[in-house]
Amino acid sequence: PAIHGFKSWSHDPNLPNSLASNEISEILPAQQGGYWILTYGAGLIHMSVEGKFTQYAPNTVEQFPSKHLFNAYWIKDRLWISSSDGVFSFMPKTNAVQLFNKQNGLIDNIAYLMVKDKSDQLWIGTSEGLSVLNSKDHTIRNYTDVDGLQNNEFNFGAGFVDDNNRVYLGGINGF
């Protein structure tokens, strides 16, 4: 119920159409209406305009790589998501997923921090260093403190891109 103009949604194990988790890490508008809700523990949830929830997680969608999601960006028709298992692109129309992790070039799997620059490159901070993923050709460049980073460990949400496309990333030893 709405109180003082506020409406809230939460997980209720007795209600089949409730949120799958109360641990929300980000909410984004969906391109076709509704919202995409990232959770820490229940994967990705789509909330339709009518308020219906659809869950996308390893236990509900084949090939969905993670249930611990941190943040996301839209690039064209793909949602790029950082997670505890790497970074992946997700196409809502087809449920197609493409995972980028340590096995195929990221410096580490746990992508604590991700920002998108004006060239649609994803700057991914981990506890082992920084990976820069080109969303167009899927090339990856890796950097560590040897390259001049503040440290190899980055913090959740501690980054942004300014109007001149300069990337600022914060970690355990400054930015």
Q: What is 122-164 written as a DSSP string?
A: EEEE-SS-EEEEETTT--EEEE-GGGT-S-S-EEEEEEEE-TT
**Could you tell me which of 134, 82, 90, 89 has the C-alpha nearest to residue 108?**
82
- What is the pLDDT of the chain when averaged over all its residues? 94
**Predicted pLDDT of residue 166:** 97
CA 92 to chain centre: 14
pLDDT (0 to 100) of residue 56: 96
Residues 6+ apart with CB under 8 A from 151: 145, 171, 172, 173, 174
What confidence score (pLDDT) does residue 31 get? Answer: 87
> Each residue of 2-18: pLDDT tens digit?
668 888 899 999 988 88
Q: How far apart are CA 124 and CA 137, in angstroms?
A: 16
Average confidence (pLDDT) over 15-38: 93
Tell me how far the alpha carbon of residue 152 is from its chain's centroid: 20
What is the model's pLDDT at position 2?
Answer: 62
pTM over 0.85: yes
Average pLDDT over residues 73-98: 96
Contact 43, 58 (CB under 8 A): yes
CA 124 – CA 100 distance, rounded (Å): 11
Place of tokens 């969905």: 64
User: Confidence band (pLDDT; 50, 70, 90) for 73?
Assistant: very high
Residue with tokens 């194990």: 13
pLDDT, position 35: 97
Question: Percent of the chain having pLDDT more than 70?
Answer: 98
Q: Provide the pLDDT for residue 130.
A: 97
- pLDDT of the residue at 131: 98
Mean pLDDT, range 126-131, rounded to an integer: 96
Q: Is the pLDDT of residue 113 over 80?
A: yes
Q: What is the mean pLDDT of residues 35-45?
A: 97
Contacts of 170 (CB under 8 A, 6+ apart): 113, 150, 154, 155, 158, 159
- At 1 the pLDDT is 58
How much is the average pLDDT of 25-48?
Answer: 95
